[in-house]
Amino acid sequence: MKLQNAFRFGLFGGLGVLVALLIGGAIASLATILTYIGAAIFIALGLDPIVSWLESRKWPRWAAILTVLAGVLGLFTGLIFAIVPVIVEQVSRLVQQIVDLLGSVRSLDELIVTLQAFVPIELLDVQQAVDGAIEFLQDPANLAEIGGGVLGVGIGIASGVFGGLIILILTLYFVASLASMKHALYRLVPASRRTTFVGIAEQVSSAVGRYVVGQASLALVNGVLSFVFLSIIGAEYPALFAFVAFLFSLVPLVGTLSGSILIVLTQLIANPDSMSTVIAAAIYYLIYMQVEAYLLSPNIMNRAVKVPGSVVVIAALVGGTLLGVLGALIAIPVAASVLIIIDQVVVPRQERL
């Protein structure tokens, strides 16, 4: 190879690496925006089956879209003006109750004794843990670190609210223009392969939509039943914990378990003098998790996405590791989409060889 050709090859190779780094940096800078867009498309695909269902009932598409959009806006407005004030008020009461409890040495001692009665001292020495926490809080450097963490949490909450509004706006736009977006995408595929591509794309879109509807249904069932049961047993802050149960249930596999543990532990703090309420809540969530795992989830999700159980677990673990909560949410429909592509593209191609 001549020196001139080698220099040219190295120059173009270096430029290619530089362009790749620039593209990677741009994608990293736009990661948050891309996440908002992905979440909005994901939700829009979940609302599309409702639009299709209304169309199957002889509704004009524009009327079906307007109805769904009005329902989304109505739900969001109701959440803001009806549920959120109750949750904020109950959170304030819960925080004040915790502050009052920690401010009373006698109550704190009683709480330590109560907790130790339920936790073997070999597993956890509650008194030693509390003493370590108090010693940690007495260090000014640690207090400064906690203050910075609280500020970061506040900024994170504000960013989350702003991101939620952006996702809502994008979702409304994507729901209204989903058909035209699909049509534009299909036109980019060569005509000879367009029919097959459209068929697979529609199956993937339908699988994602059914999964979103199924997971939201499971979360709604958990939230409603939690509110009813917690109200019946006289638990503290039933609306707040029903909302917590709903949010955690949106996360597949571990969401219901994590939310149930959080609710029971918080009830233990909020009801130190009513252990029967805490025990009743713990028993209820143990029973509900079995009902959801063996009755509700198979009947709802098997109709939504036909994915083997082992693939569900692996997909959720991989998605959660790569993209956190959002990755866990989209992992199962992505796995269903991959299975559809393998079944209708890869396998037939292998059969022809």
Instruction: Indicate whether 285 and 298 sit together in one domain.
Output: yes
Instruction: Indicate whether 180 and 196 sit together in one domain.
Output: no
pLDDT at 292 over 80: yes
Instruction: Indicate whether 199 and 179 sit together in one domain.
Output: no
**pLDDT tens digits, residue range 276-290?**
888 888 899 999 988
pLDDT at 89 over 80: no
Q: What is the pLDDT of residue 233?
A: 87
Which pLDDT band, with edges at 50, 70 and 90, does 346 fall under? confident
Each as own residue / partner, the long-range contacts of residues 16-19 (CB below 8 Å, 24 or more positions apart, any chain) are: none
Q: What is the pLDDT of residue 274?
A: 74
Task: Please count the residues of the chain.
Answer: 353
Q: Is residue 23 part of a domain?
A: no
pLDDT at 102 over 80: no
Q: Is residue 20 part of a domain?
A: no
Instruction: Indicate whether 220 and 182 sit together in one domain.
Output: no
Count of Cβ atoms closer than 10 Å to residue 64 Cβ: 18
User: Which residue is it, tokens 């926490």?
Assistant: 133
Q: What is the pLDDT of residue 122?
A: 64
Which pLDDT band, with edges at 50, 70 and 90, does 200 fall under? confident
250 phi and psi angles, rounded to 5 deg: -70, -20
DSSP notation for 79-139: IIIIIHHHHHHHHHHHHHHHHHHHH-HHHHHHHHHHHHHHS-TTT--HHHHHHHHHHHHT-
Which pLDDT band, with edges at 50, 70 and 90, does 149 fall under? low
Gyration radius (Cα) of the chain, Å? 26
* 17/350 Cα distance (integer angstroms): 35
Instruction: Indicate whether 224 and 268 sit together in one domain.
Output: yes
Which pLDDT band, with edges at 50, 70 and 90, does 21 fall under? confident
Q: Is residue 61 part of a domain?
A: yes
**pLDDT tens digits, residue range 152-171?**
555 666 676 777 788 888 88
* 180/282 Cα distance (integer angstroms): 49
Q: What is the percent of the chain where pLDDT is above 70?
A: 72
User: Based on the structure, what is the number of domains in the chain?
Assistant: 2
Instruction: Indicate whether 196 and 93 sit together in one domain.
Output: no
Instruction: Indicate whether 200 and 237 sit together in one domain.
Output: yes
Q: Is residue 21 part of a domain?
A: no
Q: Is residue 6 part of a domain?
A: no
Q: Is residue 15 part of a domain?
A: no
Instruction: Indicate whether 176 and 228 sit together in one domain.
Output: no
| Cβ proximity of 42 and 334 under 8 Å | no
Instruction: Indicate whether 232 and 307 sit together in one domain.
Output: yes
Q: What is the pLDDT of residue 163?
A: 76
Give the residue ranges of DSSP H helices in the chain: 3-29, 31-56, 61-78, 84-103, 105-118, 126-137, 140-187, 191-232, 238-249, 255-270, 275-291, 297-304, 309-341, 347-352
Looking at 188, 218, 240, which one is the last position of a domain? 188
- Tokens describing residue 276: 């029967």
Q: Is residue 304 part of a domain?
A: yes
Domain that holds residue 81: 33-188
Task: State the chain's mean pLDDT as an integer.
Answer: 76
* 278/114 Cα distance (integer angstroms): 12
| Cβ proximity of 38 and 326 under 8 Å | yes
Per mean pLDDT, which range of 33-42, 219-228, 259-268 is the poorest? 33-42
Each as own residue / partner, the long-range contacts of residues 312-319 (CB below 8 Å, 24 or more positions apart, any chain) are: 312/252, 312/253, 313/253, 316/252, 316/253, 316/254
Q: Is residue 154 part of a domain?
A: yes
Which pLDDT band, with edges at 50, 70 and 90, does 304 fall under? low
Looking at 127, 161, 188, which one is the last position of a domain? 188
Instruction: Write the single-letter amino acid at 10.
Output: G
* 333/137 Cα distance (integer angstroms): 45
- Tokens describing residue 86: 């109750």
* 33/72 Cα distance (integer angstroms): 22
Q: What is the pLDDT of residue 309?
A: 63
Instruction: Indicate whether 230 and 176 sit together in one domain.
Output: no
pLDDT at 145 over 80: no
| Cβ proximity of 184 and 271 under 8 Å | no
pLDDT at 297 over 80: no
Q: What mean pLDDT comes out for the span 16-37? A: 78
Q: What is the pLDDT of residue 136?
A: 65
Q: What is the pLDDT of residue 330?
A: 75
Task: Look at 34 and 188; give whichever has higher pLDDT.
Answer: 188
Instruction: Indicate whether 103 and 210 sit together in one domain.
Output: no
Looking at 188, 212, 244, which one is the last position of a domain? 188
Q: What is the pLDDT of residue 90?
A: 66
**pLDDT tens digits, residue range 308-338?**
666 767 777 777 777 666 677 777 777 777 8
Which pLDDT band, with edges at 50, 70 and 90, does 111 fall under? low
Instruction: Indicate whether 202 and 343 sit together in one domain.
Output: yes
